[in-house]
Amino acid sequence: MRSPARALAPALTAALLLAACGDPPASTPRTGPPPVTLTAPATSTNPPPTTTPDPPTVPGLPADVPTTGPNLTRAGETPPLMPPEATAHTPAGAVAFAEFFIRTMDWGYATVSSTYMRHYFTADCTICAGLADGIDGIAAKGRHVYGNRFAIAPGSTATPGSSGGEEYAVRVSYSVTSGEVVDTSGRFVEGQPALQLVDQISTRWSHDRWSVVAIGFVQ
């Protein structure tokens, strides 16, 4: 910050009045005070230090989640990982989490195991529990699923709940391929046609993470 310099007042000079007659008296020259130089305090030209926020942590795969299964869409397919955006306490974070949850359901049909999706819904979500139990029931009978895989469409939206930013209802559109269940001998048991679905995923922020507390079938 520059200090304003003040102008120094010039030295006062006295005019000697000469007498009307006679020689002027001898006088001693007068000098003003020595000049004073004002210097502004030195300032640093270096910009203030800046801090960079830590990047969001990328959640890992829970240790109990199967990494492969009998119903993969392609060779080498791996389980979906939660994106860093899904850990943010924001509307966009709720959307990213709800879409990720749909992908854990899809991985349940890929592996005939509900282990992954069970990490992310609460006891309040009875429909979640019913879907998970249905997948595990197929596995308990030694059966497999072929097809019935999900693909999420763009355009998911989040609407705040009654508690404001702690809850969001996220509407997700996705397609499901036709699928069938076969027994241990590979014989057809039951099937379903391809579907276009819209779900409303109710999410809640608690203990620094999102969870699914309800699912509503919009279409």
CA gap 173, 178 in Å, rounded: 16
Q: What is the pTM for the complete model shown?
A: 0.75
Q: In the prediction, which pLDDT does 5 show?
A: 40
Per-residue pLDDT of 145-194, as tens digits, reads 999 999 999 999 999 998 878 999 999 999 999 999 999 999 999 999 99
Per-residue pLDDT of 66-76, as tens digits, reads 999 999 999 99
Sheet of 188-192: strands edge to edge?
144-147, 179-182, 188-192
Could you please state the CATH topology (level 3) that the domain comprising 84-217 is classified under: Nuclear Transport Factor 2; Chain: A, (3.10.450)
Q: In the prediction, which pLDDT does 164 show?
A: 77
Q: In the prediction, which pLDDT does 49 show?
A: 63
Q: Where are the alpha helices (DSSP H) in the chain?
A: 91-111, 115-118, 126-140
- Cα distances from 198 to residues 48, 161, 171, 213, 215, in angstroms, run 50, 19, 7, 17, 10
Residue 203's Cα: distance from chain center in Å? 15
Q: In the prediction, which pLDDT does 140 show?
A: 98
**Amino acid identity of 188?**
F
**Amino acid identity of 184?**
T
Which residue matches tokens 């509503």? 216
Per-residue pLDDT of the chain (219 residues), as tens digits, is 444 443 333 333 333 333 333 444 444 444 555 554 445 555 556 666 666 656 567 789 999 999 999 999 999 999 999 999 999 999 999 999 999 999 999 999 999 999 999 999 999 999 999 999 999 999 999 999 999 999 999 999 999 998 878 999 999 999 999 999 999 999 999 999 999 999 999 999 999 999 999 999 997
Whether the CB-CB separation of 158 and 95 falls below 8 Å is answered with yes
Q: In the prediction, which pLDDT does 219 show?
A: 79
Q: Where are the domains of the chain?
A: 84-217
